[in-house]
Each structure stands twice: as structure tokens, then as C-alpha cells.
Structure 1
Amino acid sequence: MFRQIGFVIFVAGFAASAAAQQRSLGVFGLWGAFQDGGRCYAIAEPVRQSVRGTRPYASVGNWPGRGIRSQLHIRLSGEQRAQSAVLVRIDGRSFQLIGRGWDAWAADARADAELLAAMRAGIEMMVETRGTDGRLIRDHYQLRGAATAIDAAAVACLRA
């Protein structure tokens, strides 16, 4: 209950930067879905993070005008050390992302599809890398509501 309230506050704060154009599509479990101009996305904050450097999140976005559909983006809680792998673990399956600085993405559309299939079926997701200071960065997400939020964002962009 408190985690969900915290998420709603997080989403409201995240939304404030683009409030003039942003439209909420709903909150589903620990994930929210939004439409903002020419993009639609599902987003969540981690339930636990090992570093307190920035406000991390995981999002799945659609930008029809750019031909992008269901692309995973991770904002890490700390800046990634150059040449360090960014790993995502979803219920025992591991995936490697491409990372740069504070951000990480899947290597291509095929990798995105594999990650999203695992997210839809999964319960927990952990993102892990090494920070610029050598410390382990580990952000934990719950996937309850992720599939519904991802679908809501995708459908909203199909209608746009």
C-alpha cells in the first residue's frame, strides 16, 4: 500500500516536467502509463536501490513518429563505469543491456522483444552494473502491473 502511494507521488513528480501535454493512462500495480505528445510509455521506480545518486526508473516507450515501438529504457541509480556490463535479471533469466552514463537500453528490437516477454511473465526484475566509483549498482523492480501498463501505452500510441 505505502509502496503504491510512493509510486503515485513519483509518477506525479515525473509528470510535472511535461504536465501541459502529458495525459495519464492509468496506474496498474506498481507501473503507470502515460501519453505525452507523440510518445506513450509505461514507467516504474525501483522498490529498492543500492545507490542514491539519482531517481532511477524503468520505462517502455513508443514513439510512432520515429518508428520506435516497445523500447526498454533504464535510468540507473548511479552512473555506470565505462566498459562495465549492465545486466537485467528477470526471475533467473539474464539479459545484457547497452549502457552509457546513467542510462541503459536493449541492443536492438529483437532484444527488446525478449526482455518484454520476460517482463510480462516475470515477478521481479533486477538491474545491475558497476558505478564510476567501483561500487555495485543494483536496482530492484516489481513487475506487478507492468504488462497492463505496457499494453495501455502501446494502445494509446496506436490511436494517436
Structure 2
Amino acid sequence: MRSLALPLFALTALAAPLAAKDSLGVFSDWGAFRDPSVPRCYAIAEAAPSRLQRDFQPYMTVASWPARRIRGQVHFRMSRELREGARVTLRIARRNYPMVGGKADAWARDPATDTAILAAIRSADSMTIFATDSRGRRFSNTYALAGAASAIDAATLACARR
């Protein structure tokens, strides 16, 4: 188990490029933030460490954008650049969710899939996203889900109050 200092440092490092203004809390390996200037709220976590090659620091967000009427949008920053047209699949508790990939990012195909993924996150311990990189190599990023539901709820509620 990692110490509390590492997740706090990692979440701070991830949040800086996302320009978070207000911290809503840290929940195990997950953090929740509100950026009133956009406005948006999101939960965020880093992928588990890996000894394999990474082009990017992988992370996952669940965001709400009240002005756009978007709530609970799932997004992954992958650890490698994706092969054009690559199949990207998220696996949570033996269930697969096909994702849409582009460059180094992946999203749920539609709002219904976002909703299904969020429901699955609440009852699982971990999730893994699989893809093929620009060199044709399969890779994956795994996320611990302890604290995910609390962080997602905090972010969702923060933007619902706007």
C-alpha cells in the first residue's frame, strides 16, 4: 500500500495541468476537484505504477460540465500513443466496455456507456483498460477503485450545486 503522501503528490501533479481551482478532497487513490472558471468538476486517479515503457502519465477522470449539460463523462489518458483505429477496451469485473480512442485518450462511446461504467466502478476493486500503441504493441493501464465512488460523488455534487 502506498503512503498517503504519494497519492497526494500525484493528484496535485495531475491536477495542475487540469487547472483545478478547488480541492474537494482526497479519497484513497482518488481526488475530486472543482474549477469554477470553466465551470467543471471531476474525480481523478493515476494508473497503477508499471515498469513497462510509458509515453505519458496515465490517468482517468470522471467529469461534469454543467454549462454543456454533461455529467459523469469518463475519460482516460493512456500511457502510450494509440494506433490509429485501435480497439480500446475497458474491463471492470469481467465485463468489457468498448471505448473510443484518439491519439493518447479514450472515452466511453456514449452517455449510456458512461453510466454503465460508473455503476460498475461502484462494485469493483479495480479496472483495466487495454489498447494497441502506435507501434502495434498491446498494453494496458490498471486503476485501483478504492475511493472512486466517493470522489465521483463529491465532484458530481459540487457541480450540481452551481
User: TM-score range, shorter-chain basis?
Assistant: over 0.9
Matches of 1:154 and 1:95, distance apart in 2: 22
What code does the residue aligned with 2:23 have?
Answer: S
Higher helix share: 1
Alignment map for 1:1-160 (pairs within 5 Å): 1-2=1-2, 4-17=4-17, 22-37=21-36, 38-49=39-50, 50-160=52-162
Report the CA distance between 1:18 and its aligned residue.
5.7
What code does the residue aligned with 2:2 have?
Answer: F
Q: Is the 8 A contact 2:11 2:30 kept in 1?
A: no
Q: Is the 8 A contact 1:45 1:56 kept in 2?
A: yes
Matches of 2:105 and 2:69, distance apart in 1: 21
Q: Is the 8 A contact 1:51 1:138 kept in 2?
A: no
What code does the residue aligned with 2:81 have?
Answer: E
Matches of 1:34 and 1:22, distance apart in 2: 7
Q: Percent identity?
A: 42
Report the CA distance between 1:7 and its aligned residue.
1.9
Runs of 4+, deviation exceeding 3 Å? 48-51
Q: Is the 8 A contact 1:48 1:141 kept in 2?
A: no
Aligned residues: 159
Matches of 1:13 and 1:61, distance apart in 2: 18
Matches of 2:5 and 2:94, distance apart in 1: 28
Report the CA distance between 1:5 and its aligned residue.
2.6
Q: Is the 8 A contact 1:40 1:154 kept in 2?
A: yes
Query: What TM-score comes out, normalization by structure 1 length?
Result: 0.93
